[in-house]
Structure formats: structure tokens, C-alpha cells
Structure 1
Amino acid sequence: MKSPTYFRSAFAGMLALCGIAQAEPLKIAYSDWPGWIAWEIGVQKGWFKEAGVDVEFQWFDYVPSMDAYVSGKVDAVCMTNGDALVTGATGKPSVGILINDYSNGNDMVVAAPGISSMKDLKGKKVGLEEGFVSHLLFLTALEKSGMKADDVTVVNTPTNETPQVLASKAVSAISAWQPNSGQALKALPGSKPVFTSADAPGIIYDLLYVSAESLEKNKEDWAKVVKVWYKIADYVRDEENLDDALKILSARVKISPEEYEPFFKGTYILTLDEALKRWEKGEGLASVYGSTKSVNAFNLKFKVYEKSQDPEKYLDPSLTKALKK
């Protein structure tokens, strides 16, 4: 008996012979972050099919997801606003068409036992990955605590190694995002967060970024994707759906709903009305434009890239604004 794949391939071949092009699905790379795993809800509930859009979500670790986008293997990728600037400056530009969320506690500065505040870190070593959002978070924490960058010694550490480095006591604190920050808390009993992204809401926005080519070619389909997202956002923000949402999200990363709940609550998923406010142009972190401008300054200062990036070229609120009632 021939496989289903055989028949699909044969059917596609017949269409090609007849001169009928078979539309490719929109390919989206996503990774382990609550605001991105939430796409699973739309997939499992069939909401994309209901909306009449063919979407293929491909699961990656975070950095490989960006590599897949830059190499053209996918049409879109879920990234932070800062990392979108990096991929654009050094590889392939993209356009953010919707804001999934902002980090609301999942990104943390985790300190060893005996350290109760950022000021206690003066003169001590801190492990973090230079040039990434955890570095930006840490510098923001220093600034808000009245400290300077040279008040501490930064030990450049891959983010996924920060839990082990903190547990080894080679450093007095680390800066990382979930699940690494949570793993660090477990790895060293008595450790605790002394600053989190909840102390600077909007410092890290998480968006869906699409290639300019795909956006131009498939704008109506991307509009449907955006519309489905806000159906997902309304679903997860309804407390009555919490158990179901946690079941779906936690299954994607193979942990229990109870274990996953703190990660979910450390992510502020935006409703349509809340997202529209964040799309308003402004200088502060309450605006995705202001936040992206701040990250651009950080990237230039630390030579992540050499040429300044224009936030407006990376952001397109039109598909979100089209949903405004």
C-alpha cells in the first residue's frame, strides 16, 4: 500500500503538470518562550484552518530559529525586538507585525545566598552572555540601583551555562531568561532574584517578525495570522481557560502544568487593546519603538553591530491596527 506522503506528492505533481501552482504554507520558526509556545493553542484548536490560512510552525532552540530565518528556511521567526536588530544588521532584515508579549519577570538577575540587592554585587563577578538581552537587563538593573558598569566584573557566559556557573560559586550572580533563570534558582539553594524584567516592563518585547518578501507577497494571509493571534491572546488571558492553556503549553516542553505556571505568569501576553497602546510611538519602554531605540543604543555601545539601525524599518503595526474595533 502506498503511503499518504506518496499520494500527496503525486497530487502535487499532477497540479504542476496542469500548470497549477500549489501554495506553500507560511513557515514560522518558534521556540521555548511562553508567548511563542502559545501559538500551539491556535494550532491544536484548528483556528488557523478556520481562518483559511495554511501555517506551518517549526520548533527550534532560540538561536537556531534565527539562523533558520536568516538562511531562508522559514518565512518568519519569533524574536525579541533587540535580536531582530541584530539579525537585520548582520544577516537578514525583518518586519515585526505583532507584539506577542513583554517579559514580566522571566528575565532575572539571580544572586547567590547572602546577596539581597543589586548594591550587594559591588566588586563581585556576574555571569551573563555579553551583547544579549540578559546583558541589557543587567545594565538596566545597575542603572536603576545607582550603580555603574565598572562596579562589577562581567564574566562572559553562554546563557544556557549560567545555572551551572552560579552553582559552582565562580560568580556571585547571573543574568538570564527562562528557563535558565529558573534553573539557576534550583541549582543553588538559597539563591534569589534581585532584579527582574517586571522591574522594567517593556525592556524586552517579543514579536513575530516576517521577511519583507513574504509580507508583501502574502499580506492577506499574514493578516489572518495576526487575527488568530489575538483570539489566542484573549483565550489565555481568560482565567477560566488557564488550566487548558497550561496543559497545552507545558506539553510542548515536556514538563507538568504546575511546573510551567510560573514561566507563564512571568510573561505578559498582550490583548489587542494593550498591544495598540504599545504600538504608539514614544521614547520610553511603554512603546515598542522607544524600547527598540534603547536596544539599538545598547547594541552600538557594545559593538554588537557597527551601523545604527532604524527601529521604524523593523516595525509595522498596520495589521494589528486594522483589527481595531
Structure 2
Amino acid sequence: MANQALKSVAGSKIIYSSKDKPGLIYDGVSVNMSHLSAHKEEWKKLIQVWDKTVKYINDPATHADAVKIMSNRVGVDPTQYEQFVGGTHLLDLAGNKKAFVKNDSFDSVYGSSYHVNQFNVNNGIYKTAVDVDGLIYPDLVNELK
């Protein structure tokens, strides 16, 4: 969408991007604990497949094919889609393990969430801080090798 907006307004440019502050925005997968408990091994397989997917995307030998697959899925030209891939930092299993180390920096899912949480409270987005530590469950990632 941002790319479409930039194209539709002559002279427009990006003034700030999440690419400028890695770790500011993390995307993740959420699952309720009852489903996780009942299907733990399946969720581990999902994480392992994601690790292989990220490696396929990042491997120079298979990168073009990965972009072609993803761009076809969303109906965007591969050349245009490549711009999105370049601005997205995908975490493989090792990267996820690092991101799940608890600290206050943007290198950590915890740290990023602490900062966002405080921003939201300070700006009246919500009144009570969220229990960040209670929402993040790194165990499956940390159990895998």
C-alpha cells in the first residue's frame, strides 16, 4: 500500500521507515495456550518450516524464485515485490532465539514490546500497561535446535 501511495502522488518520498529502526516492529504468530498444549509438536514443525522458508528467501541461489512465488501469491510484479523484501528483516530460528532474549533493547521482542507498551500508556492509547512478559512464550523456539 505504501508503494501505491508513493506512486500516486508526484514527488512523494518516504520520510521514515521501520527499516530505519530495526526491531521497532515485530510480526509474530499467536496461538492460544490450550491449542498449543494440544498440538505442541505441530507448532514446532511450523517453526522449523518457517526457518527453512527464511533461508530459502535469503539464499542468493533461490532468492529470485522465492520472490517470484511470493509476488505471484499477492498479484504483484516480482520487481516491485523485491522492494518489500529488501525492507523486511526475516528471522530464521537463530534470529528468533536472539530476539527472544529478554532485555530492554529493540533487538528483543521483549524490549520492543516494553517500549511500545509505555508509548501507548503515555499517549492514552490504553490506561493500564500490558503484562508483556505474560504474553510472550519463547519456549518452543528455544526448544528447537
Shorter-chain TM-score category? over 0.9
Q: Which has the larger radius of gyration?
A: 1
1:321 aligns with 2:131: no
| Structure 1 residue 304, shift from structure 2 partner | 2.7
Which residue is equivalent to 2:78? 257
Task: Please give the per-residue CA displacement for 1:91-130, whole angstroms capped at 9, x wherever unaligned.
Answer: xxxxxxxxxxxxxxxxxxxxxxxxxxxxxxxxxxxxxxxx
Residue 282 of structure 1 is aligned with which of 103, 107, 113? 103
Alignment root-mean-square deviation, CA: 1.3
Q: Is the 8 A contact 2:47 2:93 kept in 1?
A: no
Residue 92 of structure 2 is aligned with which of 255, 268, 271? 271
- Percent identical residues: 39
Which sections of structure 1, spanning at least 5 residues, go unmatched? 1-179
Cα distance in 2 for residues equivalent to 1:227 and 1:291: 24
Cα distance in 2 for residues equivalent to 1:255 and 1:199: 24
Residue 119 of structure 2 is aligned with which of 298, 307, 311? 298
Which residue is equivalent to 1:245? 66
Cα distance in 1 for residues equivalent to 2:44 and 2:96: 15
Task: Please give the per-residue CA displacement for 1:14-38, whole angstroms capped at 9, x wherever unaligned.
Answer: xxxxxxxxxxxxxxxxxxxxxxxxx
Which residue is equivalent to 2:56? 235
Which residue is equivalent to 1:207? 28
Q: Is the 8 A contact 2:26 2:109 kept in 1?
A: yes
Moved over 6 A (4+): none
| Structure 1 residue 236, shift from structure 2 partner | 0.9
| Structure 1 residue 301, shift from structure 2 partner | 2.4
Cα distance in 2 for residues equivalent to 1:272 and 1:218: 19
Which residue is equivalent to 1:193? 14
Q: Which has the higher helix share?
A: 2
| Structure 1 residue 315, shift from structure 2 partner | 1.0
Q: Is the 8 A contact 2:57 2:66 kept in 1?
A: yes
Give secondary structure in 1 for the equivalent of 2:28: strand
| Structure 1 residue 189, shift from structure 2 partner | 1.5
Cα distance in 1 for residues equivalent to 2:60 and 2:92: 14
1:181 aligns with 2:5: no
Give secondary structure in 2 for the equivalent of 1:255: coil
Q: Is the 8 A contact 2:6 2:13 kept in 1?
A: yes
| Structure 1 residue 254, shift from structure 2 partner | 0.8
| Structure 1 residue 307, shift from structure 2 partner | 2.3
Give secondary structure in 2 for the equivalent of 1:259: helix
Task: Please give the per-residue CA displacement for 1:208-264, whole angstroms capped at 9, x wherever unaligned.
Answer: 111122112211211111111111111111011111111111111111111111011
Cα distance in 1 for residues equivalent to 2:120 and 2:106: 16
Higher RCO (C-alpha 8 Å, min separation 6): 1
Give secondary structure in 2 for the equivalent of 1:268: coil
Cα distance in 1 for residues equivalent to 2:101 and 2:118: 20
Residue identity in the other structure for 1:253: V
Task: Please give the per-residue CA displacement for 1:287-315, whole angstroms capped at 9, x wherever unaligned.
Answer: 11000011111222233333211111111
Q: Which has the higher strand share?
A: 1
For these two proteins, the number of residue pairs brought into alignment is 145
Cα distance in 2 for residues equivalent to 1:243 and 1:198: 21
Which residue is equivalent to 1:221? 42
Residue identity in the other structure for 1:299: N
TM-score by length of 2: 0.93
